[in-house]
Structure formats: C-alpha cells, structure tokens
C-alpha cells in the first residue's frame, strides 16, 4: 500500500477527540469494570448486614481510606503510563504513604491488646478467602482497563500492566469492603494487600502480552 493512499484512508475518518479523552477513556473502563465488580459483590457475596452500623465506626473508614487512596494513586499513575512519553510514575511512590500509615495504625492496634489476641486479629474469620476474593473482584476492573488501553499508547508495558493490576486490585478491595466484616487493621494490611499485590503481579505478567500495539 502506498503511503499516500494510507494517509488518505486515515484522514477520511477522523472522529474528534475530546479534551480529556485519555482520562475519560480510563474512567470509562474503570466504571464499567467497577460496575461488574459491584454486581458481583452484591450478587455472590452480599453486602455486610451491619453496613449502616459499620459506617458509623472508624474502622470502616480507615479500610476505605486505605484501599481508596491506593486506588486513586494507582489510577493516576495508570493515566500517566497510558501516554507514550510518560515520565517515572511518581504517584506510585505516593501510594506508599497509605501503606505506611496503615502499618503504624496496625502497630498501635496490636500494642493496645494482649498478645494472646494477636493471632485472632491477624487471621480474623475470613483470611482464607479474603485475598482470593480481592483478586477475583479485580479481574473485571482489569478487563475494563485493558479495554481503555486499546486507544492509549503505553510504552513501558510491564510497568503499565503492573500499575493497571494495582489499580484494579485496589478498586476491587474498595468494593470488597462493602462485604467484608473484618475490623482489624493488621488483617486489612496483610490480606487485602496480598490480594492487591497479586493483581499487580498478574498485571505485570500480562501487560507485555495484552497491551502491545
């Protein structure tokens, strides 16, 4: 095919690109995936029965703040990695702040109770399924992000994949909070983070394959 013909063909269909096209596209993927995840939480897991009550307590908001701020930082980093000339993802460093914050809260929490209760707090009642659920709930969001990336141009595929996985995992965990009745910081720090990290790891493995363009 001659280059000239190609250019004619390409400029024949030029849909206008809105000002914040990249952010909109990513948001679209996130919302679509998030909706599926929310339905999965509602349908398969069910919201925690004491949700309204829990919303008056501090722990619910600490959990939400932890996963939500992680999700926000990861989303912003993902948006930067969707551009080909992206710099280093500074938002990923900021994402360390909530992790460190929750660590401090966990240590305080552990220090305030006798050590015989530590194991119970750490394992809670659902440690066997928590990470798995967080990971599974991240899958629809990750798929949504992959759809978004089809119009974006990441050049560091592994990092972009990992960050997309982190975003999906953190949003998945945020929605999982609506179900999970656990209320200890050290539980969240361990098992939520494990699920989120797993999502990021899988994202890093899939990124170079699925995000090529």
- Positions in the binding site for another protein (CB under 8 A): 1, 3, 6-8, 10-17, 19, 21-22, 25, 82-85, 151-153, 155, 212-213
For 11, 39, 169, 197, the CA distances from 43, given in Å and listed in that order, are: 46, 6, 19, 25
Nearer to another protein, 157 or 189 (CB): 157
Give the shortest CB-4-to-another protein separation in angstroms: 8
Nearer to another protein, 23 or 183 (CB): 23
Give the shortest CB-40-to-another protein separation in angstroms: 29
Give the shortest CB-143-to-another protein separation in angstroms: 19
Nearer to another protein, 61 or 147 (CB): 147
Nearer to another protein, 34 or 82 (CB): 82
Give the shortest CB-153-to-another protein separation in angstroms: 4
Nearer to another protein, 139 or 162 (CB): 162
Alpha-carbon distance 177 to 201, whole Å? Answer: 22
Give the shortest CB-98-to-another protein separation in angstroms: 27
Give the shortest CB-89-to-another protein separation in angstroms: 15
Nearer to another protein, 86 or 178 (CB): 86
């Amino acid at each position: 095919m001659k280059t000239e013909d190609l250019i004619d063909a390409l400029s024949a269909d030029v849909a206008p690109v809105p000002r914040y096209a990249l952010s909109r596209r990513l948001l679209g993927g996130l919302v679509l995936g998030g909706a599926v995840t929310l339905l999965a939480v509602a349908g398969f897991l069910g919201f925690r029965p004491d949700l309204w009550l829990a919303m008056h307590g501090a722990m619910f908001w600490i959990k939400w703040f932890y996963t939500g701020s992680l999700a926000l930082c990861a989303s912003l980093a993902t948006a930067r990695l969707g551009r080909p000339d992206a710099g280093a993802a500074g938002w990923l460093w900021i994402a360390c702040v909530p992790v460190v914050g929750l660590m401090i809260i966990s240590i305080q929490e552990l220090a305030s109770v006798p050590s015989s209760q530590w194991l119970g707090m750490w394992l809670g009642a659902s440690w066997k399924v928590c990470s798995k659920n967080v990971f599974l709930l991240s899958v629809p969001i990750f798929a949504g992000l992959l759809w978004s990336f089809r119009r974006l141009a990441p050049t560091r595929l592994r990092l972009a994949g990992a960050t997309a996985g982190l975003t999906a995992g953190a949003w998945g965990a945020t929605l999982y909070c609506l179900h999970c009745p656990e209320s200890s910081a050290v539980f969240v720090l361990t098992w939520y983070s494990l699920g989120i990290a797993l999502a990021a790891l899988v994202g890093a493995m899939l990124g170079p394959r699925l995000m090529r363009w």
